[in-house]
Chain A
Amino acid sequence: MRFNIPAIALLLTLATAGDAAAQKKSEKKGPRRQAEVRLHVIQASSSDQRQNDAAALVPAELKSLLRYSRYTLLDSALLRATERTEQRIAVAGDMLGEVEFEVQPDGQIQVTVELRRSDSLLLDTRATVKSGETVVLGASRMRDGSTGLIVLLTTKLIP
């Protein structure tokens, strides 16, 4: 078998250049910021059997849009997170949460949230927020309006 030496050299050069560019870009991002991330995990349901202790946390306007009658607070969590680092947290006993954030050049924070129960996915979404802003993340299933999951997420950068 004949090897095309110039082509291999060109590929190696391009790969090295790409890696160096990525490293330079990573360095350009600067030091990783710290943020305080607050989560309220709420289960919304149409069943009258459940508690309604988190109804006050959910904005009234949103409640009027949703068809749930009960809002149960499953857990609240506060964690200190490092930028571009996946933070894992156990919430509501058997749920595993993963939170990761990155500060955008315009100062806004892009937060990625994932919630799982054992191997089942409950929520995976991302939001771009201002520091200190609370955003409502919700999850439900198609044609199944009996249950929903609501996460109130507040991300505040630590100076």
Chain B
Amino acid sequence: MSDDRLREILSVRVAADEEASRSERARKRAMAAYETAPRQHRWQPFMAAAALAIVLGGTWITQRSSGRPGAADASAERPRIEMRMQLSDGTRVNWVIDNRYAL
């Protein structure tokens, strides 16, 4: 493109009504972009507290549910058997078998 042609294009003045219609179209595009864009909410204090409560509750439930099998595993690792018997002379015996004992 020659310099003269470019100068000619740039020097063309936009009519006032065309300028208004352009600005109207631009405004509509901006409004449409604003309405379709995902809205960003400001965190209210109560919403933050509710979210924190949900997170803490979830953590507690997760820990509790994961803690149960752990406890069962621990008890499986160290079973405890308690036997109660009575000898023929009447002597009573309580015998405990427990792997926790450091005998």
Q: Interface range on chain A: under 10, 10 to 19, 20 to 34, or 35 or more?
A: 20 to 34
Residue interface mask B78-103, A partner, CB < 8 A = 1: 01011000011101111111111111
B94–A135 CB distance below 8 A: yes
A62–B87 contact, CB under 8 A? yes
How many Å lie between the Cα of A139 and that of B89 in the bound state? Answer: 21
Main secondary structure of the interface of A (DSSP, over half): strand
**A117 close to B (CB within 8 Å):** yes
Q: Interface residues of B toward A: which range?
A: 10 to 19
Q: Are A141 and B99 in contact (CB under 8 A)?
A: yes
Q: Do A121 and B93 touch (CB < 8 A)?
A: no
Given A61-B89, A120-B102, A149-B103, the answer on whether A140 and B94 have CB atoms closer than 8 Å is no
CB within 8 Å: A-B pair count: 75
Q: A138-B96, A139-B96, A142-B79 are in contact. Are A122 and B91 (CB under 8 A)?
A: no
The interface bits of chain A over 89-121 (1 if a CB of B lies within 8 angstroms of the residue's CB, else 0) are 000000000000000000000000000010011
- Closest Cβ–Cβ distance, residue B85 to chain A (whole Å): 8
Q: A125 on the interface (CB 8 Å rule)?
A: yes
B99 to chain A, nearest CB (A): 5
Q: Evaluate contact between B94 and A138: CB separation under 8 angstroms.
A: yes
A-B contact pairs, 27 of them (CB 8 A): A59-B89, A61-B87, A62-B87, A120-B101, A121-B100, A121-B101, A123-B96, A124-B96, A125-B96, A126-B94, A127-B92, A129-B92, A136-B91, A136-B92, A136-B93, A138-B93, A138-B94, A138-B95, A139-B95, A139-B98, A140-B97, A140-B103, A141-B97, A141-B99, A141-B101, A142-B99, A149-B101
Q: Using a CB–CB distance below 8 Å, which chain A residues touch chain B?
A: 59, 61-62, 117, 120-127, 129, 133-142, 144, 147-149
